[in-house]
């Protein structure tokens, strides 16, 4: 456990200092400010616009960081032989993987926190939906991070990244696609969509950005459901990544 914490904190520190991450964060923050500026011209809608753009920017930033760091994490460790150094210490491959995952988790957590707090400050609204939306974005990005990590144990990092983008899009279209499949009444299409539900996380469950404008927050049952779903996907893909990584030759 101590090894995992040490690894997580170290890799968090490493990533924070990396310029790419800072650039993504700066870009996302810039988008928030831009939306504020735009908001000046559309008086009554300004708050809505800011919130929409701001959340979109937060999600984009978090998803980008998750997919990039997930896909390239192991390849870079192997490239620099850092993973050999760590694994020559009393650290198992599973601990190594979890530690690295946790480090990226901390990074995503800080990113989402900074963005959400900036938005809340700009809007002057620290309400419950703010935290729920932030949590849902974090959940989504953690699922994608775990997927990218798993994919990168099987294929090249760029391919893993691409597969992550596909998963992200598919996860959002799942509802629509199911709807079309049912509409077409083609049994094969319905079956395919039913199977897809087991392979692709339904990101509509994690999409609560509109709640920011609504008075009623989502029910706590939905929130818990979302967290459980997210955790399940993370555990499944992290376990799969571990299973492959344990068998790999680290050349």
Partner 1 sequence: MNLVEVSGLDKTFKGGLFEKSRQVLFDVRFALPAGETCGFVGGNGQGKTTTIKCLFGFIRPDRGEIRFFGRPLGPREKKRIGYMPERPYLYEFLTGREFLRLHWSLVGASGDFPAACESILRRVDLSHAVDKRLRSYSKGMLQRIGLAQALIHSPDLLILDEPMSGLDPDGRLLVKEILREEKARGATIFFSSHLLQDMDELCTHLTVIEAGRILHDGAVASFRNEHPDLEKAFRAWRLKHRGGLP
Contact set with partner 1 (CB under 8 A)? 2-3, 6-7, 10, 13-14, 17-18, 79-82, 84-91, 247, 249-251
C-beta of 119 vs 151, nearer to partner 1: 151
What is the smallest separation between the CB atom of 75 and partner 1, expressed in angstroms? 13
State how far Cα 167 lies from the chain centre. Answer: 11
In terms of Cα–Cα distance, which of 87, 110, 109 is closest to 99?
87
Q: Do the beta carbons of residue 77 and residue 101 sit within 8 Å?
A: no
DSSP label at 58?
H
Give 148-187 as a DSSP string. HHHHHHHS-HHHHHHHHHHHHHHHHHHHHHHHHHHHHT-H
C-beta of 3 vs 239, nearer to partner 1: 3
Q: Where are the beta strands (DSSP E) in 175-237?
A: none
What is the smallest separation between the CB atom of 79 and partner 1, expressed in angstroms? 7
What is the smallest separation between the CB atom of 247 and partner 1, expressed in angstroms? 7
Q: Do the beta carbons of residue 74 and residue 153 sit within 8 Å?
A: yes
C-beta of 183 vs 247, nearer to partner 1: 247
C-beta of 221 vs 247, nearer to partner 1: 247
- Residues with Cβ within 8 Å of residue 67, at least 6 apart in sequence: 144, 145, 148, 161, 164, 165, 168
C-beta of 79 vs 222, nearer to partner 1: 79
What is the smallest separation between the CB atom of 128 and partner 1, expressed in angstroms? 37
What is the smallest separation between the CB atom of 169 and partner 1, expressed in angstroms? 28
């Amino acid at each position: 456990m101590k090894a995992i914490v040490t690894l997580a904190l170290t890799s968090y520190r490493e990533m924070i200092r990396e310029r790419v991450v800072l650039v993504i964060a700066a870009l996302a923050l810039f988008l928030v400010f831009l939306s504020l500026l735009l908001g000046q011209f559309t008086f009554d809608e300004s708050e809505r616009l800011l919130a929409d753009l701001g959340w979109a920017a937060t999600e984009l930033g978090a998803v980008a960081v998750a997919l990039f760091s997930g896909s390239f994490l192991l390849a870079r460790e192997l490239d620099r032989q850092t993973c050999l150094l760590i694994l020559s210490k009393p650290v198992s491959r599973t601990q190594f993987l979890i530690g690295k995952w946790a480090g990226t988790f901390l990074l995503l957590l800080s990113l989402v926190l900074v963005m959400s707090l900036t938005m809340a400050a700009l809007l002057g609204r620290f309400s419950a939906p703010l935290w729920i939306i932030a949590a849902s974005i974090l959940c989504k990005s953690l699922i994608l991070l775990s997927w990218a990590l798993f994919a990168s144990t099987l294929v090249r990092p760029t391919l893993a990244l691409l597969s992550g983008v596909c998963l992200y899009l598919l996860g959002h279209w799942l509802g629509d696609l199911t709807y079309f499949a049912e509409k077409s009444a083609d049994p094969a299409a319905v079956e395919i969509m039913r199977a897809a539900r087991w392979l692709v996380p339904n990101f509509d469950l994690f999409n609560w950005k509109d709640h920011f404008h609504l008075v009623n927050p989502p029910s706590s049952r939905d929130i818990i459901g979302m967290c459980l779903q997210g955790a399940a996907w993370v555990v499944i893909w992290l376990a799969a990544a571990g299973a492959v990584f344990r068998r790999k030759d680290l050349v």
